[in-house]
Amino acid sequence: MNEDQVRVRFAPSPTGLLHVGNARTALFNWLFARQRQGVLVLRVEDTDVERSAPEYAQKLIEDLRWLGLDWEEGPDVGGAFGPYQQSARLETYASHTQTLLEGGQAYHCFCTPEELDQERQRALAAGKTPVYSGRCRSLPRDAAQERIASGEAACVRLRTPGQGELGFNDLVRGAVTFDLAVVGDPVLVRSSGLPAYNYVVVIDDVLMRITHVIRGEDHLANTVRQILTYQALDYPVPQFAHLSMVMGEDNSRLSKRHGATAVHQFAQDGVLASALFNYLALLGWAPPDGNEVLEQSELVRLFDLKKVSRSAAIFDYGKLHWLNRQHIKRLSGRAQAEEALPHLQEAGYLPREMTDAHWSWLEGAVAALIERVDTFADLKDSFAQVFDFSLEELGEEERSDLRSECGGKVIRSFAGLLAGIEQLDYAAFAEMTKTIKEETGCKGRDLFHPLRVALTARGSGLDLDKFIPLVESGAGLDFPIPLKSCSERCEAVMAYLDK
RNA sequence: GCUCCUGUCGUCUAGCCUGGCCUAGGACACCGCCCUUUCAAGGCGGCGACACGGGUUCAAAUCCCGUCGGGAGCGCCA
């Protein structure tokens, strides 16, 4: 292995679905690794047995892959520095703890949670930062051993300086300095014997040879404790980069009440992975030339960790949707149809078994309807105007359009012409409208609106020149919901008018 | 409460390091116009910001100090 090789990691805890905030962290790690020809490690942080669940680890992996990320090492692909889930690394942590205990950099603490809580309350009340008092710090080692032997519960704490300053250079934030007087001795190992996050993360990052730790800003303050741990272990400290948080519109942490937050949800809503990828990269970073619609490979080329914004960003669904439209447009007709198909099948418009005829009809339909939608879920809704034809649900305005003087004349004239025609395509339709205009004297809105309502049972929608060929070519195909031809629609309207 | 991070159009940001090229640029959203048999889409245009107060300087969005706002951390959660 090359000593200079960049090695980064994404280390989610499997306590829920992949959130866009975490996805952005993963993505920035990925971009950085790819552009530096480095290695991305996926590590599952499942030391919290209460909240972790293996199903979530699997879903996390699926969602990351859907987004278009890959990694060289991880629980699913293996690697030279595994295992890659912390629950399988407990022995490693234990041996490090032994070393620290023997060297005196760590010690056993017998304080009970109740005592610590009281200490904390007192500090808060006195207007000070709650810091562990260090009561068990100077307990002689053999005395501690005896208490443990007698069955007393103890956790292991790191011995920290308690005074002075500790600074580090953050790749996105620059120089950051902390007063060590406000950092107490952190718990390394809980009295249950399970190691704590801030401890294992250090050991794992060292053992997995991580060179750059790119993570959320919520870890910024913990970095001091972690650096102290690196030092106690006599390990080299990696570079840090703390990314700002992703917020909802009201500037509070993005949560479900702001809308979709899980990557999985965006996939279901018909957002393209490439669009979400693009949007996430733009959250806190801007391309140098101002062109914001970018593919993965372009992002890899242009991305610059040093240019990442230091302030929090609000997740803008509107811009994501705009980007999604841009990415949809870049897809070939066939690819658009393929993306659309699952959503349309789920809505019951298209059969599970697609014939070639279905495919070519679908491509045409998607091409006609796609420009008007933000997502494939929206596309599903706009397919309703092709398949659903219900005169019972006409609105007031549409009803009066049909029943108006021109409406009745136009439709009767249209129905008459339709009877004598083989194949209604747009050219034929254009010819017919001319004739209708002459026969009825109706024109403009008075002419076209009744026709639109008669054919679509709606007051607005797709251009008729696109709508008619779509319906006519689809009418012969076998769909779960039969697609009515123009003449069938027209007959229904005539019957409706006669009532 | 304390500590740390942060503050440019409604939103994402460029510019800040290395003061003058800033009459502060772009994108989304919004508004208007054009296109049009509808609704969109699309094209064109418009509105719109340096949080505030002091300093330093011939000159400050840019450097310094303070205030205020936002976020995070202070756990035997991760």
Cβ contact A367 with chain B strand, < 7 A: no
Cβ contact A371 with chain B strand, < 7 A: yes
At A253 the pLDDT is 80
Work out the average pLDDT over A179-203. 91
At A3 the pLDDT is 67
Residues in A 242-271 whose C-beta is less than 7 A from nucleic strand B are: 244-245, 247, 251-253
Which residue, counting CA atoms, is nearest to the C1' of nucleotide B70? A251
- Decide if A477 is inside a domain: yes
Q: Considering only CA atoms, which of A479, A446, A458 is closest in space to residue A392?
A: A458
β partners of residue A168: A176
Q: Are A194 and A47 in contact (CB under 8 A)?
A: yes
Average pLDDT over all residues of chain A:
89
Report the alpha-carbon angle A293-A295-A297, nearest 5: 140
Scanning every strand, the nucleotide with its C1' closest to A242's CA turns out to be B5
The pLDDT tens digits of the residues spanning A122-171 come to 878 777 778 888 788 888 888 878 888 888 888 999 999 888 888 899 99
Taking the CA atoms of residue A354, residue A360, residue A362 and residue A367 in that order, the dihedral angle to the nearest 10 degrees is 160
Residues in A 38-57 whose C-beta is less than 7 A from nucleic strand B are: 45-48, 50-51
Cβ contact A124 with chain B strand, < 7 A: yes
Work out the average pLDDT over A355-374. 92
- Answer yes or no: is pLDDT of A263 > 90: yes
- Answer yes or no: is pLDDT of A498 > 80: no
- Decide if A187 is inside a domain: no
Percent of chain A scored above 90 by pLDDT? 52
The pLDDT tens digits of the residues spanning A388-421 come to 888 777 777 777 777 777 778 788 888 888 777 7
Query: Between the CA of A472 and the C1' of B77, what is the distance in angstroms?
Result: 61
Among all chains, which residue has been given the structure tokens 């801030």? A198
At A138 the pLDDT is 86
Based on the fold, state whether residues A319 and A408 are members of the same structural domain: no
- Decide if A415 is inside a domain: yes
CB atoms within 10 A of CB A271: 25
The pLDDT tens digits of the residues spanning A91-114 come to 999 999 999 988 889 999 988 888
Based on the fold, state whether residues A401 and A494 are members of the same structural domain: yes
CB atoms within 10 A of CB A254: 21
Specify the number of domains making up chain A. 2
Based on the fold, state whether residues A397 and A471 are members of the same structural domain: yes
Cβ contact A192 with chain B strand, < 7 A: yes
At A2 the pLDDT is 62
Burial class (CB in 10 A: 0-12, 13-18, 19+), A191: middle
At A229 the pLDDT is 95
At A68 the pLDDT is 96
Q: Are A83 and A57 in contact (CB under 8 A)?
A: no
Query: Between the CA of A24 and the C1' of B74, what is the distance in angstroms?
Result: 26
Write the CATH number for A299: 3.40.50.620
- Answer yes or no: is pLDDT of A442 > 80: no
- Answer yes or no: is pLDDT of A314 > 90: yes
CA distances for A361 relative to A65, A337, A346, A350, A358, angstroms: 31, 10, 18, 11, 5
Q: Bigger pLDDT: A112 or A243?
A: A243
Residues in A 75-114 whose C-beta is less than 7 A from nucleic strand B are: 109-113
Residues in A 416-455 whose C-beta is less than 7 A from nucleic strand B are: 444-445, 448-449, 451-452
Per the document, the length of chain A is 499
Scanning every strand, the nucleotide with its C1' closest to A444's CA turns out to be B37
Scanning every strand, the nucleotide with its C1' closest to A127's CA turns out to be B1
- Decide if A312 is inside a domain: yes
Do the strands A246-247 and A313-314 form a parallel or antiparallel pair, or are they unpaired? parallel
Q: What is the pTM of this model?
A: 0.91
Query: Between the CA of A14 and the C1' of B78, what is the distance in angstroms?
Result: 10
Question: Would the ipTM clear 0.90, i.e. be above it?
Answer: yes
- Answer yes or no: is pLDDT of A424 > 80: no
- Decide if A36 is inside a domain: yes
β partners of residue A106: A158
At A258 the pLDDT is 80
Scanning every strand, the nucleotide with its C1' closest to A188's CA turns out to be B76
The pLDDT tens digits of the residues spanning A45-89 come to 987 777 778 888 999 999 999 999 999 999 999 889 979 999 899
- Decide if A192 is inside a domain: no
Work out the average pLDDT over A449-462. 86
- Decide if A302 is inside a domain: yes
Task: For residue A482, give its domain range.
Answer: 388-498
Residues in A 455-494 whose C-beta is less than 7 A from nucleic strand B are: 459-465
- Decide if A217 is inside a domain: no
- Answer yes or no: is pLDDT of A422 > 60: yes
Give A448's pLDDT tier (boundaries 50, 70, 90). confident
At A1 the pLDDT is 53
Work out the average pLDDT over A214-241. 94
Q: Are A171 and A212 in contact (CB under 8 A)?
A: yes
* The two three-digit tokens of residue A94, written as one number: 């234990």
The pLDDT tens digits of the residues spanning A199-223 come to 999 999 999 999 999 999 999 999 9
Query: Between the CA of A393 and the C1' of B71, what is the distance in angstroms?
Result: 50
Query: Between the CA of A310 and the C1' of B72, what is the distance in angstroms?
Result: 13
Give A438's pLDDT tier (boundaries 50, 70, 90). confident
At A461 the pLDDT is 87
Based on the fold, state whether residues A416 and A324 are members of the same structural domain: no
For strand B, the positions having any atom within 7 A of a protein Cβ are 1-8, 10-15, 25-29, 37-42, 70-78
CB atoms within 10 A of CB A161: 12
3 state SS of A367: helix
Give A239's pLDDT tier (boundaries 50, 70, 90). very high
Which residue, counting CA atoms, is nearest to the C1' of nucleotide B26? A290
Q: Which of A129-138, A217-226, A460-469, A489-498 has the highest mean pLDDT?
A: A217-226
C-alpha–C-alpha distance, residues A93 and A323, integer Å:
45
Positions of A annotated as catalytic residues are 256
Write the CATH number for A467: 1.10.10.350
C-alpha–C-alpha distance, residues A476 and A322, integer Å:
35
Which H or E run contains A175?
A: strand A174-179
Cβ contact A191 with chain B strand, < 7 A: yes
Scanning every strand, the nucleotide with its C1' closest to A371's CA turns out to be B41
Q: Considering only CA atoms, which of A382, A401, A374 is closest in space to residue A463?
A: A382
C-alpha–C-alpha distance, residues A305 and A33, integer Å:
11
What are the two backbone dihedrals, phi and then psi, of residue A425, each rounded to the nearest 5 degrees?
A: -115, -175
Domain boundary among A330, A358, A374: A330
Cβ contact A222 with chain B strand, < 7 A: yes
Positive or negative, the CA dihedral A101, A107, A110, A113 is: negative
C-alpha–C-alpha distance, residues A95 and A101, integer Å:
10
